[in-house]
Amino acid sequence: MAFRTPSGIVVPAVTADQMREIDRIAVEEFGLSILQVMENAGRILAAHVISMIASGSTASAGGGAVTVIAGPGGNGGGGLCCARHLHNRGITVNVVTHRAASMGEASGRQMAILRAAGLRPIPVRRAAEVLRRASIVVDALIGYGLRGAPTGRTAELIELCNTSATRVLALDVPSGVDATTGETPGPVVRAERTLTLALPKTGLRRLSGDLYLADIGIPPEVYRRLGLAYTPPFGAADSVLLVSDDSPA
């Protein structure tokens, strides 16, 4: 299946397994680093947060403050990078994560930068408070790596996000959605906007809310290695709105 831009450019969709292979080819055969693509994702995600803050009355909802809920994997690393870019622009940012000690190398480096800048993770016991006060909540818990229903603290944070957050921006895939099938085997984040990375995922075809695609720096030749017909859709922009014929009216 495919998505399209408002101007009619067709963008192919991929399954979670295809996206893993794209990531592998980009790193192992093209020499991109995880930190490079993570930086691009976080920077563009921050730009979307700023756009959402400016789009309405969100500044009055929490003084423009943003809360990022980050998991231990690459999706969480993108959220942490987003937090840094927002901090650099003078925006108050709170970061909630329950597995800081088990983060991967790249995500751990993002966390170390935040700590050096004076940003300390908020304990999960205070998550409801900072989610409720935030103008925008960034969901960076899981991404396309969901395997079964979210459990434990992850499920708790998803539920808190749904009950406490005013507006939610999800990174890549709303947490709890199967990136391939679109199924929701457990709790799922209800996002106003989703910024998906590199290529849209097949499970997003019935997504509620706006879907944007971010250019994280992967060359078109990587996609063509998988036999995908790909025309760069971005023009001079870093991200582009996508629509699917299956999207809810």
Does the pLDDT value for residue 157 go beyond 70?
yes
What CA–CA distance (Å, rounded) separates 9 from 25?
Answer: 24
Output the pLDDT for position 58. 42
In a domain, 182, yes or no: yes
In a domain, 248, yes or no: no
Share of the chain above pLDDT 70, in %: 96
In a domain, 169, yes or no: yes
In a domain, 236, yes or no: yes
Number of domains observed in the structure of the chain:
1
- pLDDT digits over 177-225, tens only? 999 999 999 999 999 999 999 999 999 999 989 999 999 999 999 999 9
**Average pLDDT of the chain?**
93
Output the pLDDT for position 60. 42
In the beta sheet, which residues pair with residue 3?
A: 11
In a domain, 39, yes or no: yes
The boundaries of the domain holding residue 154 are 2-242
* 98 vs 17 pLDDT, higher one: 17
In a domain, 94, yes or no: yes
In a domain, 249, yes or no: no
The CA distances from residue 193 to 92, 164, 212, in Å, are 21, 17, 8
Q: What confidence tier does 63 reach under pLDDT thresholds 50, 70, 90? A: low
Output the pLDDT for position 247. 63
Q: What is the pTM of this model?
A: 0.94
* Mean pLDDT computed over 92-99: 91
Q: What confidence tier does 56 reach under pLDDT thresholds 50, 70, 90? A: low
Output the pLDDT for position 41. 98
Output the pLDDT for position 3. 96
Say which CATH number the domain at 18 has.
3.40.50.10260
Does the pLDDT value for residue 244 go beyond 90?
no
Dihedral angle over CA of 66, 67, 71, 75, nearest 10? -10
Output the pLDDT for position 61. 46
Q: Are 216 and 44 within 8 A, CB to CB? A: yes
CB atoms within 10 A of CB 161: 30
* Mean pLDDT computed over 89-111: 90
In a domain, 247, yes or no: no
Q: What confidence tier does 248 reach under pLDDT thresholds 50, 70, 90? A: low
Ordered alpha helix ranges (H), the chain: 16-24, 34-54, 58-62, 74-88, 105-116, 127-133, 152-164, 220-225
